[in-house]
Amino acid sequence: SQQGEEDPQALSIQEGENATMNCSYKTSINNLQWYRQNSGRGLVHLILIRSNEREKHSGRLRVTLDTSKKSSSLLITASRAADTASYFCATRKETSGSRLTFGEGTQLTVNP
């Protein structure tokens, strides 16, 4: 399997529910980032969590990082129809300026 795998691949929920997406990776990292992409559009940065952090919040977003398990989760609380998008995790290794390695993504659909 590849660096940065998300599960589930697709998630369909009702408005108001919480959505949890998971990401696993293989190598040691400097940080992990979550991005959102509306269909056919650009990548919007959501949140960055450093390897020495365990949890981070931003508005309705909560990200956790477990470096021992090489996994992260993104929780969106009180979801809205406008949250419908693809969500990708991306990891950066410890080398300065190194590439981001993206996961396969989770397609989230929030039904009104």
Task: Please give the residue ranges that form the binding site for other proteins (CB under 8 A).
Answer: 4, 30-31, 33, 35, 40-45, 48, 50, 88, 90, 92, 94, 96-105
Closest distance to other proteins from the beta carbon of 17 (Å): 26
Closest distance to other proteins from the beta carbon of 59 (Å): 16
Q: Are 4 and 23 in contact (CB under 8 A)?
A: yes
Nearer to other proteins, 18 or 98 (CB): 98
Nearer to other proteins, 39 or 68 (CB): 39
Pairing between strand 55-58 and 71-76? Answer: unpaired
Radius of gyration of the chain (CA): 13
Which residues are CB-neighbours of 12 under 8 A, at least 6 positions away?
108, 109, 111
Q: What angle do CA 77, 22, 32 make, to 5 degrees?
A: 95
Closest distance to other proteins from the beta carbon of 108 (Å): 15
Nearer to other proteins, 14 or 27 (CB): 27
